[in-house]
Structure 1
Amino acid sequence: MREYKIAVLPGDGIGPEVTREAVKVLERIAEMDSSFRFKTKNFNWNSEYYLEHGKMMPEDGLEQLKEFDAILFGAIGDPRVPDPVSIWELILPIRKNFQQFINFRPVKLLQGLESTLKKEVPIDFVIVRENSEGEYTESGGAMFHGETREMALQNMVMTRQGVEQIARFAYDYARANGREKVTNATKSNVMLHTMTFWDRLVEEVAAENKDIDYERYYIDALAAYFVQRPETFDVVLASNLFGDILSDLGSAIVGGLGLAPSGNINPLGEFPSMFEAVHGSAPDIAGKGIANPIAQIWSAALMLEHLGRKDLHDLVLQAIEEVLVEKKVLTPDIGGNATTADVGDAISDKLERIGGLL
């Protein structure tokens, strides 16, 4: 029987709090299911580490992480450390060096919750975000600091390989999961080089997958349609920046960032994939014990699915929804007064009850 090796990077702010609950849920699953075994190792590479060592992780940090089957990442960000430092020296090197070119973000209105749109429609789509190039590259620079002619340049980089592989993943995912349509988020009417290139390559892949419907919207119109008719989307394909923004909007319409999971995926399995909540470190509520752990627990469930245990993913999601439906143990962001640990315990207990009925 295989034992999975999971690297845990709790990170900053509420990261350690919500990650603790996600690991608690994994431990409860292992107690219930003898076919699932895992071992974790904590890596306290965060802003405190930076303040002590002058870097976000050791020189051989990536080599250490390579040995794991998956990474569970808490959150990064601390007012004492500039965001470009914490992001570009920790999370982005992991994403880029481990070729986690898929950023997978479900947007689903879970049972027991009401959409902020106050619409009684099912909202259940995924955002497939390109995760390795696009707008988030180091290509660019600045000149003439402090002068009237001071300037800065940030290049948007797209490659045929990068666009084609994310587009093919979107179609493969749609087909494997009974989704009927892929929506392309673009802005090719004004971004004459990169986004027209993106559209051309995406539409070449669409032409190879005619069993799945295809549509294209400019990003500004698409943001409006997320609000006006979110039930009409299945798989939304977006560049790095567009996908980042759209996923926050998507989470807002289904209950907030506390319910937004994600996976940074290397589909070929050459390197470990990384799973994290979308919400970030939320330093304003860190240490108060009120952070919603559902996004991080759901991210751990996505990790289980990635490791080949969709049955366990579905079990965790069912437990989350049953807790939400009961409305007895909810954190303040979704109308309750429970603590982070209370919600983790409630979901773990539901898992045991559901598991006993199976």
Structure 2
Amino acid sequence: MTTTQRIALIPGDGIGREVVPAALAVLDTVGRRHGIAFGYDEFDWSCARYLAEGAMMPADGLDRIRDHDAIFLGAVGAPGVPDHVSLWGLLIPIRRQFQQYVNLRPIRVFDGLDSPVRGAVAGEVDFVVVRENVEGEYSEIGGRMSRGFPDELAVQQAVFTRAGVTRLVDFGLDLAEGRRRYGEAEPSTRSEPAGAFTPSEHGGTATTRRGGYVTSATKSNGIVHTMPFWDEIVAERTALHPALRWDQEHIDALSAKLVLDPARFDVIVASNLFGDILSDLAAAVAGGIGIAPAANLNPARDFPSMFEPVHGSAPDIAGRGIANPIGAIWTAAMMLDHLGHPEAAAEVENAIAAVLAAREVRTPDLGGTATTTTFTQAVLDAVGTR
């Protein structure tokens, strides 16, 4: 029996219009193997639309996509449209109105794709950043006064709620417990007992830990209200998961450790701003922004979740046919998994891994000469042999 999934498709701007067809080709191919049919409703919401009509999407845009099974986005952004206009005109309304409060970003070093970081080795670096996605530092509260005058000022308020932090941390803890079943179970060389340990007590390089290990990103030594509040809730929620190990790291030290010892991490939970920065840094450690996927999840499934590669619209290479499609294809695998097709999702990710391990096909950002189409065909061929 065939399962039909209805997808709201927003190719967006720049290379988004090139990598989305690549992802759809893979989706349709693996779908046929698993009895999954995809129906795509395409929407022209983009910076081009903004320049032509004064809005990134129509006033009833959210109602048009509310009943889809998922949303797939290519990229947003274009010269001539300020980034805050494109972001707040499209992505943020979708994330917030559909309560997509988890931004999930897996990080993996693939065999055959050498990391620019010497210590990031394939098979050892495999973790997930769980980023809060609808509140935190990216709030709408604030404003500007005395524009254009010497005493001009801007105020931006961060918003952390108990409900928001709790549900995000709970998601990360549950995810860590699930990864524990399948991850490595290496014994720790640390002498402290299971539970929390503070950043200041552990400045050295940690041993590799995989599965059942959560790191909370904080800055409670400098941000005196929201971050201690965050830390308190993390401590409360982790106490309900005694089998998990967890620690907290100040964001500056954590950024350094992601480079110096990326294999130590399993699940990182972070606020909106911290998670945004950490996940891009981690993607670079893994080989580049072009390969990184992301999911904006509504875990309760009251609304559709949205899936988008991490990379931007890359106007400097748009239209040349050389964009790296890995981020979009891996994002499609995440969407498959969310829709209840984990075997199909695994086939797609395994196909990406196989192409990279062969070291034969590379887009220019990875040091090769392959086109978007050529790389996508290699993945399609690999999917057919899995």
TM-score range, shorter chain: over 0.9
Question: 1:80 maps to which residue?
Answer: 80
The one-letter amino acid paired with 1:243 is G
The alignment partner of 2:300 has SS state of: coil
Q: Deviations over 1:67-88 (max 9, x none)?
A: 1000110010001111111000
Q: Deviations over 1:199-248 (max 9, x none)?
A: 11111101111111010110000000001111000000000000000011
Question: 1:93 maps to which residue?
Answer: 93
From 327, 339, 342, the counterpart of 1:295: 327
Aligned equivalents of 2:52 and 2:120: distance in 1? 51
Question: 1:124 maps to which residue?
Answer: 126
Query: How many Å apart are 1:326 and its aligned residue?
Result: 1.3
Unaligned runs of 5+ in 1: none
Q: Identity percentage over the alignment? A: 49
Q: Deviations over 1:157-200 (max 9, x none)?
A: 00000000000000101111212210000001111011111111
Query: How many Å apart are 1:27 and its aligned residue?
Result: 1.2
Question: 1:258 maps to which residue?
Answer: 290
Aligned equivalents of 1:9 and 1:84: distance in 2? 18
TM-score by length of 1: 0.97
Q: Deviations over 1:123-146 (max 9, x none)?
A: 110000000000111110000111
Aligned equivalents of 1:99 and 1:31: distance in 2? 31
Q: What is the Cα-based RMSD across aligned positions, in Å?
A: 0.9
1:187 equivalenced with 2:201 (yes/no): no
Aligned residues: 353
Aligned equivalents of 1:57 and 1:80: distance in 2? 17
1:322 equivalenced with 2:322 (yes/no): no
The alignment partner of 1:277 has SS state of: coil
Could you tell me whether the CA contact under 8 Å between 2:108 and 2:125 is conserved in 1?
yes
The one-letter amino acid paired with 2:222 is V
Q: Deviations over 1:326-349 (max 9, x none)?
A: 122210111210001111111011
Which structure 1 residue ranges, 4+ long, deviate > 4 Å from structure 2? none
The one-letter amino acid paired with 2:332 is A
Question: 2:277 maps to which residue?
Answer: 245
Question: 1:166 maps to which residue?
Answer: 168
Query: How many Å apart are 1:120 and its aligned residue?
Result: 5.8
Is the alpha carbon distance of 1:101 and 1:120 closer, same or farther for their aligned partners in structure 2, counting shifts above 3 Å? closer
Question: 2:65 maps to which residue?
Answer: 65
From 204, 213, 232, the counterpart of 2:245: 213
Question: 2:197 maps to which residue?
Answer: none
Query: How many Å apart are 1:113 and its aligned residue?
Result: 1.3
The alignment partner of 1:241 has SS state of: helix
Aligned equivalents of 2:316 and 2:231: distance in 1? 40
Aligned equivalents of 1:10 and 1:120: distance in 2? 32
The alignment partner of 2:294 has SS state of: strand
The one-letter amino acid paired with 1:254 is A
Aligned equivalents of 1:115 and 1:327: distance in 2? 14
Query: How many Å apart are 1:288 and its aligned residue?
Result: 1.0
The one-letter amino acid paired with 1:98 is F
Query: How many Å apart are 1:265 and its aligned residue?
Result: 0.2
Question: 1:157 maps to which residue?
Answer: 159
Unaligned runs of 5+ in 2: 181-210
TM-score by length of 2: 0.90
